[in-house]
Each structure stands twice: as structure tokens, then as C-alpha cells.
Amino acid sequence: MEFREMTIPGAWVVTPRLLGDDRGMFCETFKASEFEKATGRPFGLQQVNTSVSAAGVLRGIHYTEDPPGQAKYVTCVRGAFLDVVVDLRPGSPTYGTWDSVLLDDVDRRSVFLSEGLGHAILSLENRSTVNYLCSLEYSPEFDRDLDAFDPQLAIDWPTEGRDGRPLTYIRSAKDQAAKGL
């Protein structure tokens, strides 16, 4: 596994070593010892979520009030997503900035984001599937949302899917009602 810290401290892109043969492919998508060595912290798994999305589905920007905060380890198991991390930690030198990475079923990268960071995913093809390992069980009283199209953030969302066709963004009513930064 290779860990690369993103431009936002506390967020890492994890690239696994892919082992293929005539049977298919194998990779380790999470390994506690390597995770702790690279990030300097343990990951306390409390909940696992799976989300399946049509092309153009935009989920987020979601975050959990910090404290307690929720760390996430996100892996695409089918299809492709643009994964966006936003620094929402007051006082952070990178507050209000974002970074992104393509998560897909080819390179099998994952993203880890620490507590206090916002997260959004945009599905780039139909039936794209993502798994979230979460450090905190879902707690609606701490759940928060931020408008993914907030001009202050100026996130550069793709307008085409992985197949080159135009994307029509599909958001939940809750995400559409989210306020800006």
C-alpha cells in the first residue's frame, strides 16, 4: 500500500498493490498496521456503509460536528467517483480549501479523511458503489451538510461521466437545502 497525504492535512489517498493472475485480481484495501504507520493514528471502526449511485449523483458535502467528529475510509468497489475532501476545521491553515481524487474499480484507491473534514462524492457512471468505514456510528444530532456548489468553495465538479457523456447532477433535497460556508 502506498499512502500520499493530500493538500489538506489529515486526508490521505491510499493506493493498494494490485495482484492479478488468470483468476482475476486481489488487493488489500485496508490494513491497520500500515494505516497506523502512515497516518500516525489508529482507525477505530464503528460502522460500515455501502452506497450505490447512478451517474451524476452528488452526495455531500457531509461532515460530523467535531467533537466528536467522524473519520472515514472510503473505497470504490464498482464504477467511478470523484471524491472531494473539504477542510472545515476552524483555525486550520487550509480551512475552506478542497482537494479531490478519482476513486474507481481500476486503480482501487481509497481516501481516508480525519475528523473535521467534509466529504462529497460524485458518481461518474451508473451503479457506482462505494464503501465507507466510519469511526463513529451515524449520529443525526452531529450530522451536518454544506452546499457542494457554494461559490466560496468553487469546487471544480466534472460535467462529463467516465463515458464522456454529460452529467446531470442529482442531489437529495437535504443536500440541495444545505447552506454555504
Catalytic residue annotation: 62, 132
C-alpha to C-alpha distance for 167 and 174, rounded to whole angstroms: 20
Residue (of 54, 53, 35, 55) closest to 45 by Cα position: 35
Q: What number of helices (H) and strands (E) belong to the chain?
A: 2, 13
Cell of 44: 477505530
Asked if omega into 67 is within 30° of 0 (cis), the reply is: yes
C-alpha to C-alpha distance for 108 and 17, rounded to whole angstroms: 9
**CA–centroid distance for 49 within its chain:** 12
Query: Is 120:98 a contact under the CB 8 Å cutoff?
Result: no
Residue the block writes with cell 490494513 = 31
Query: Is 145:174 a contact under the CB 8 Å cutoff?
Result: yes
Residue (of 12, 141, 154) closest to 75 by Cα position: 12
